[in-house]
Amino acid sequence: MPLVDVTYAPTVPEPRLRELATMLPHLVSLAVECPEEPYDGDLQPGDVEVRFRPLGPLDRCGLPLVIEIKSKWFAGRAANRQERVDALHANIRAATGFTDFGVYLSLPVAAWSQGD
């Protein structure tokens, strides 16, 4: 279950952020699918959590848009994480037209529990 944090500058138009919010769950799921957690294309509530946060007055960021993804470490994911994040960046760019943004993929050793 990936957690996705999107930090954006005030120059990024809200309609573009809404478009990104619609596309991110699927694109992130494709990027992190692995034998241990396969992606069947049928996202359910809680499968991908996406949170948006505007840059604050004290934040320092060189990009108008940064997408941070945290997804549980699995050997199948970790072996090619750079290729995964590069492909995700390219897929986000193709799907949204954003050109000036960064994607950070973190694979911590973690556990997740979700009620019914």
CATH number of 3-106: 3.30.429.10
Question: In the chain, which stretches have pLDDT less than 50?
Answer: none
Distances (CA, A) of 56 to 7, 18, 43, 60, 101: 10, 20, 31, 9, 17
pLDDT for position 98: 94
Cα distance between the two ends of the chain: 15
- Domain boundaries along the sequence of the chain: 3-106
* Max CA pair span of the chain: 42
Distance CA 79, CA 108 (A): 14
Beta bridge partners of 37: 34
